[in-house]
Amino acid sequence: RKIQLTLLGCGGVGRQLLRHIVSTRKLHQISLFESNAQGLRVAVMAVVDSKSIFLGEKNEELDDAALLEICLAKEKNNQMPAFLMDDHTTFFLVYPMVVADCTASIKIGQALAEMADLDCCIVLANKKPLTSSFKVYDRIAALNRRYRCESTVGAAMPVIATLNRLLNSGDSIKKIVGALSGTLGFVMSRLEYGESFSDIVRQAKELGYTEPDPRDDLGGMDVARKVKPLATIPYSLSLVGFLLVTCCLKVECLHPPSLAPKLMSTTQFLNEGLAELDLPMRNRVKEAAARGCVLRYVKLSLTKNLSFAYSCKVGIVEQPQQSALGQLHGSDNLVEIFTRCYSTSPLVIKGAGAGNDTTAAGVLADVLDLQDYFG
């Protein structure tokens, strides 16, 4: 089998995905089910970013050497070597294909919707297309089993897959509680050791935990967007995503309006604006510690009440130090799922929730999960 893949976005996650594809060649060539089969190959047909499109010669796949060269060139100076440049000015899809969105752009949603109309399979690491508009969401969600978005919630943690299994077995979701931001989990847990808020955020960006603009994380909307992919799960949450994200979701922003992207560049925010947040955050940490608690962001509490309405809050909460959330450290995510079957003792999913390597691994797993659509 050959999965023909188009990669959108060649940033940290996109480059790591290309490296994963190259490094797992031998693993995928071996068929686990048929001794005489040739196994599986992920063929990267194109790498597309905001500045360029790179295609293999004569509609052939880009070879492994070219993929690694793209990664190296992008890391060094964001320029591609001449032998990989192509004269194509229009990119169009010739074959059945998986399109992997590893961008951080909300504008890509319309393009993905058009690709969905061409019967492409779509894999998302980028949460924003699912929250860009109802029309885009509907067209992508209409692909049903031909699209995957596991890495939009908890990096490679199997949150959506687990919920699907529960719902398909006839269970019902009562409540979902957890910390879904590996970036802010890292920041909050480091505050306990006395480090300044601004230094920790800059460290998180250097480690690849944050979005390109850390205010996407600090504003809380990156976490809020993670609610919307849950709405793609059949039966129980189909009404939740639209309502919560648009009107019923309460989000605490960790920076004031004066530091908003419209008023301050990312560089200026990192070098100057962040320092304004140090003292207020230090005071909140001390107040929580005096009560035997720690700060955690975010406690996403998705609760179904007696009238079958859902409520959801995203923000900083105080948690006892010995609680499950209180003991969460680093960039790990934690999700507690309360259902009919797991009513008193919730199903807990915990693991790394941020980082290019982890997210890219989740994207590759989603791509491989679509192999049955390819001969």
Phi-psi group of 235: left, alpha or beta (phi > 0 → left; psi -120 to 50 → alpha; rest → beta): left
Helix axes 197-206, 278-290, angle to 10 degrees: 110
pLDDT computed for residue 86 by the predictor:
44
- Say how far apart CA 134 and CA 45 lie, in whole Å: 30
pLDDT at residue 249 greater than cutoff 70: no
Choose among 98, 152, 143: nearest CA to 116.
143
Amino acid residing at 324: A
CA 344 to chain centre: 30
Residues 6 or more apart whose CB falls under 8 angstroms from that of 38 comprise 1, 29, 31
Confidence of residue 235 (pLDDT cuts 50, 70, 90): very low
Contact 304, 172 (CB under 8 A): no
- Say how far apart CA 129 and CA 110 lie, in whole Å: 8
Q: Which of 155-159, 222-226, 242-246 has the lowest mean pLDDT?
A: 242-246
Higher model confidence: residue 205 or residue 173?
Answer: 205
Q: Which of 30-39, 69-78, 106-115, 288-297 has the lowest mean pLDDT?
A: 30-39
Write out the E strands in 139-220: 147-148, 173-179
Amino acid residing at 356: N
Phi-psi group of 78: left, alpha or beta (phi > 0 → left; psi -120 to 50 → alpha; rest → beta): left
175 is catalytic: no
pLDDT computed for residue 133 by the predictor:
76
Domains, the chain: 2-155+358-373 (3.40.50.720), 167-353 (3.30.360.10)
pLDDT computed for residue 240 by the predictor:
38
Tokens for 7, please give them. Answer: 């990669």
Q: In three state form, how does the secondary structure of 220-262 look?
A: CHHHHHCHHHHCCCCCCCCCHHHHHHHHHEEECCCCCHHHCCC
- Say how far apart CA 244 and CA 311 lie, in whole Å: 7
- Say how far apart CA 233 and CA 368 lie, in whole Å: 20
78 HSE (CA, 13 A, CB side): 6
Catalytic residue among 226, 228, 299, 304: 226
List, for residues 58-103, the tens digit of each pLDDT value: 778 999 999 999 998 888 765 554 444 444 434 444 556 899 999 9
Contact 327, 149 (CB under 8 A): no
At residue 351's C-alpha, the angle toward residues 238 and 209, to 5°, is: 90
Bridge partners (DSSP) of residue 101 are 8, 124
Q: CB-based burial of residue 369 (10 Å sphere; 0-12 exposed, 13-18 middle, 19+ buried)?
A: middle
Residues 6 or more apart whose CB falls under 8 angstroms from that of 188 comprise 294, 295, 296, 297, 316
